[in-house]
Chain A
Amino acid sequence: MVNFKRGKPLTLERDEHLASIESIQSGLESLNYISNHQIATAVFLAYQLDKPVLIEGPPGVGKTELAKSVANMLELECIRLQCYEGLDESKAIYEWKYGKQLLYTQVLKETLGEILEGAKGLTESVAKLHEFGDVFYSEEFLEPRPLLKALKEEKGCVLLIDEVDKSDHEFESLLLEMLSDYQLSIPEIGTIKADPARKPLVFLTSNNTREISDALKRRCLHLYIPFPNAELESQIVHARVPEIPAELRRQLVTFIQELRELDLKKVPAISETIDWAKALILLHTESLDADLVKQTLNVILKFQEDIELVEGEVQMLTNKALKA
């Protein structure tokens, strides 16, 4: 095990899981998330340096799953913000409870007379009203959205900002303050900061549909999760579908790995491998054969043209998988 020169003092119970890269790896493994060294390093550094992790990679390699598994491992709440075009601060950070504000205005109107009792002239009345302060723009009227909620979470939490690349450029700028300083500014109230000892662990995922801005990238650790190699994938299938016999698992993984070499519109990801494994179990398969593969091809391939392309190669691929 590596000894680290300067780590954070392990004040909290959950920190034990994050004490070293090995403990993260084993912790995740116990939750059936098989990580490689790089992934574990990212989580470790994210915690040690208080930096968000930006995870990129093809769909279905377990980007979102990583955040969820870390939350599970630490037994913290996973607050998720799903990004989409048009997402803005009122849905991501906070919103005023307009209804409540209106209701209270009505109530206030009725009691206004009592409050202003004894005040002479306009100036005095206004002065008197001022004594009440800005009740309508206080925390009671604030509806916290995911980002704000994550900051206020007392036990700390895992914040998952999913598919950042789907949001608008403006939204990225909104995130900057949160990601670099773990604070949010609300004009009417002031700055809300996270408890320094329990800063949320932030994960951002991106499918690379567009380039994320440099400003955002600069603030993050950048983790790229590629498709796993055969060994790792086999482990993952084993962890997720334990009932699959070892022989079939080997064949299945070899087949998928071969498939990824082909020129497909969408190559099968790990999630598809797992689905396929489950499907094969349901069909009581013991060993791959060309016909069976052809029938279940739609589990792993999601485009008709891909299926047509692969159908011609199935025999060859199956033979390869059986021989390997």
Chain B
Amino acid sequence: MEKTVVDFVKVLRTAEVKVSPAETLDAMAALEVVGYQDRTLFKNTLSMLLSKNPDEKETFEACFEKFFTFDDVTKTSQDEQQTEAGEDQFDDEQDGNGQPGQPGGKGSGQGGQSRGDHEEPEDDDLETPPPSSDLGKLLLEGARSDIMIKMAEAGRAVEVNQIVVFTQKGLFTRKIMDQMGLKGLQDEITELQNESGPGERRLAGKLKRARDQLRDQVRDYVEKQFFLHADEHGKQLREELLKKVKLSNLEKRNFKDVQEIVFKMAKKLVSIHSKRRKTYKRGHLDVRKTLRKNMQYDGVFFDLKWKSVKVDRPKVMCICDVSGSVSNYSRFLLMFLYSLAEIIPKVRSFAFSSDLGEVTQLFQNSNLEDAMAKTMRDYGNGSTDYGQMLLDFKRTCMDDVDNKTTIIILGDARNNYGDPKSEIVREMYDKAKRVIWLNPEPRSNWQVGDAEMKKYAPNCHQTEVCNSLTHLERVVSNLLKFAA
């Protein structure tokens, strides 16, 4: 049973429910107390110990239902209620008690089929000799559940939970069959076919049919395992890939995935950095400190100590180039920043291609997609003019820049040979806490053609190549670190 719980935890982890080893241990301890008899109780208990927020609860629910499936059993048991009440009872018992662990497996109606198999040749049962190989015996004489258990064991032995891609299905089916003793069965079938007795031949046919059914069953089992283990794994692979791919190469259909990743990254950053945010109440007497401080004055209070105020929320101004080539980067940078609203509540964002406009309100009031589309429509046209942008910035918000402000400029600095006005960047440099320039182009291209990075770079605290989500994450994380 422990192994089963561990397997289940593994499935949860691939589905991105964070379960720590300690929680697994807790779950075991809890199961000791509540037992395995009652499925709802079993589920509630695990749910309480393994999934710890509403999202995770939902995932847990789905995984639990997938992992501990039994509806097939109940379906077949209805079909066969009369013929094998006894055995069904056994199955039901298994439901709650022993093997919620044998994941998946019972393909619908399979029980029925194998049963039908039994019944069909039943009239001439007397004439067939008993099968000699282990697997043959199991198939013809063993209970359905025994076959399932055997299959699950074999699956475990060949580590079917390592399955990663869909094409491995055949391989694993084969492996499991081998593990279950397919060879013995094959040999027996060949042998039986060479014999002349009608009983033997009938047995050979029967075994063959049983073998084919078993193969179907195993394939089904492997498929379920694939969905359980590999589906999420594949998603992780895809996410890793998306994180590294150049943002400008992203296609529209990936946006949704990317957005999800951005939120995930943002969440991680929030949890790492939100600890820095301290806002002590002003005006509270710090008794401890005061007493300690005044000890030296014979306990007379004349040097009062107050609880300190520490606010380190960074103020961020983000200027984004939204002309064609760079717009994708801007989109994700803004997405990132607004997902971080919890720790950097004061983000002001500006968009430009030639004229600069503030889009803070837009992003706060509508969802990202709409805001982005509107921004593109309003500011996305026209050739880029960094000089004009800087002039606009100076005119409208230079006064709001103070020594707590971080200014992020995202753009390729391709100015169409216009006046770069780098002196304004210098002014920003002097006034702001940090000026960060993010450039999606590789460093080697920074001075090629109409790019003006050479003039801007010395006036920034930091210049970074930024063309993938990983880069973005790093930049934002640094931003938060320095803000503290």
A interface residues (Cβ-Cβ under 8 A, vs B)? 2-7, 21, 37-38, 41-42, 44-45, 48-49, 51, 54, 56, 85-86, 90, 95, 98, 102, 105, 168-170, 210-211, 213-214, 217-218, 220-224
CB distance from A52 to the nearest CB of B (A): 12
Count of chain A to chain B residue pairs whose CB atoms are closer than 8 Å in the complex: 91
Do A218 and B40 touch (CB < 8 A)?
A: no
CB distance from B447 to the nearest CB of A (A): 44
Choose among A48, A86, A168, A224 the residue that contacts B33 (Cβ–Cβ < 8 A). A48
Q: Is the interface of B mostly helix, strand, loop or mixed?
A: helix
Choose among A6, A54, A90, A213 the residue that contacts B271 (Cβ–Cβ < 8 A). A213
| Residue B291 at the chain A interface, CB threshold 8 Å | yes
> Once the chains are docked, how many angstroms separate the CA of A170 from the CA of B274?
11
CB neighbours of A56 from chain B (8 A):
53-54
| Residue B44 at the chain A interface, CB threshold 8 Å | yes
Do B48 and A105 touch (CB < 8 A)?
A: no
CB distance from B203 to the nearest CB of A (A): 45
CB neighbours of A48 from chain B (8 A):
30, 33
Do B275 and A169 touch (CB < 8 A)?
A: yes
Ranked 3 nearest A-B pairs via Cβ = A222-B52, A217-B52, A86-B281
> Once the chains are docked, how many angstroms separate the CA of A214 from the CA of B260?
21
Please encode chain B, from 1 to 44, with 1 for each CB lying within 8 Å of some chain A CB and 0 for all others. Answer: 00000000000000000101011001001101111011011001
Chain B residue, CB-CB nearest to A172: B275
Total residues of chain B contacting the partner, CB 8 A = 40
CB neighbours of A217 from chain B (8 A):
52-53
CB distance from B430 to the nearest CB of A (A): 35
Chain A residue, CB-CB nearest to B57: A224
CB distance from B305 to the nearest CB of A (A): 13
Chain B residue, CB-CB nearest to A173: B275
Do B30 and A49 touch (CB < 8 A)?
A: yes
| Residue B187 at the chain A interface, CB threshold 8 Å | no
| Residue B381 at the chain A interface, CB threshold 8 Å | no
9 new A-B contacts at CB < 8 Å, known A3-B37, A38-B47, A218-B52: A49-B33, A102-B299, A211-B270, A214-B18, A217-B52, A217-B53, A218-B22, A222-B49, A222-B52
CB distance from A27 to the nearest CB of B (A): 18
> Once the chains are docked, how many angstroms separate the CA of A90 from the CA of B44?
37
> Once the chains are docked, how many angstroms separate the CA of A89 from the CA of B125?
80
Do A222 and B51 touch (CB < 8 A)?
A: yes
> Once the chains are docked, how many angstroms separate the CA of A210 from the CA of B30?
28
Within 8 A of A (CB), among B34-83: 34-35, 37-38, 40-41, 44-45, 47-49, 51-54, 57
Do B48 and A2 touch (CB < 8 A)?
A: no
Do A2 and B38 touch (CB < 8 A)?
A: yes
> Once the chains are docked, how many angstroms separate the CA of A212 from the CA of B270?
12
CB neighbours of A42 from chain B (8 A):
48
CB neighbours of B281 from chain A (8 A):
85-86
Known: A86-B280, A218-B23. A45 touches B52 (CB 8 A): no
Cβ contacts A to B, 29 pairs, < 8 Å: A2-B34, A4-B33, A4-B34, A4-B35, A5-B32, A5-B35, A6-B33, A37-B44, A41-B34, A41-B41, A41-B44, A41-B48, A44-B34, A45-B30, A45-B34, A49-B29, A49-B30, A49-B33, A54-B52, A85-B279, A86-B281, A98-B291, A211-B267, A217-B52, A217-B53, A218-B23, A218-B52, A222-B51, A222-B52
> Once the chains are docked, how many angstroms separate the CA of A183 from the CA of B280?
27
Do A49 and B26 touch (CB < 8 A)?
A: yes
Do B32 and A221 touch (CB < 8 A)?
A: no
| Residue B264 at the chain A interface, CB threshold 8 Å | no
Do B35 and A2 touch (CB < 8 A)?
A: yes
Do B38 and A6 touch (CB < 8 A)?
A: no
> Once the chains are docked, how many angstroms separate the CA of A218 from the CA of B23?
6
> Once the chains are docked, how many angstroms separate the CA of A210 from the CA of B271?
10
| Residue B484 at the chain A interface, CB threshold 8 Å | no
Do B48 and A6 touch (CB < 8 A)?
A: no
CB distance from A92 to the nearest CB of B (A): 15
CB neighbours of B26 from chain A (8 A):
49, 51
CB neighbours of B235 from chain A (8 A):
none
Chain A residue, CB-CB nearest to B301: A102
CB distance from A212 to the nearest CB of B (A): 8
Do A21 and B275 touch (CB < 8 A)?
A: no
Known: A4-B35, A6-B33, A56-B54. A45 touches B48 (CB 8 A): yes
Chain B residue, CB-CB nearest to A53: B48
| Residue B287 at the chain A interface, CB threshold 8 Å | yes
Choose among A41, A218, A224 the residue that contacts B20 (Cβ–Cβ < 8 A). A218
Do A223 and B48 touch (CB < 8 A)?
A: yes
CB neighbours of B49 from chain A (8 A):
45, 221-222
Do B54 and A2 touch (CB < 8 A)?
A: no
CB neighbours of B240 from chain A (8 A):
none
Choose among A6, A38, A49, A102 the residue that contacts B44 (Cβ–Cβ < 8 A). A38
| Residue B284 at the chain A interface, CB threshold 8 Å | yes
Chain A residue, CB-CB nearest to B274: A169
Choose among A5, A49, A98, A170 the residue that contacts B287 (Cβ–Cβ < 8 A). A98
> Once the chains are docked, how many angstroms separate the CA of A224 from the CA of B51?
10
> Once the chains are docked, how many angstroms separate the CA of A245 from the CA of B268?
52
> Once the chains are docked, how many angstroms separate the CA of A299 from the CA of B446?
64
Choose among B32, B37, B51, B278 the residue that contacts A2 (Cβ–Cβ < 8 A). B37
CB neighbours of A168 from chain B (8 A):
278
Do A5 and B33 touch (CB < 8 A)?
A: yes
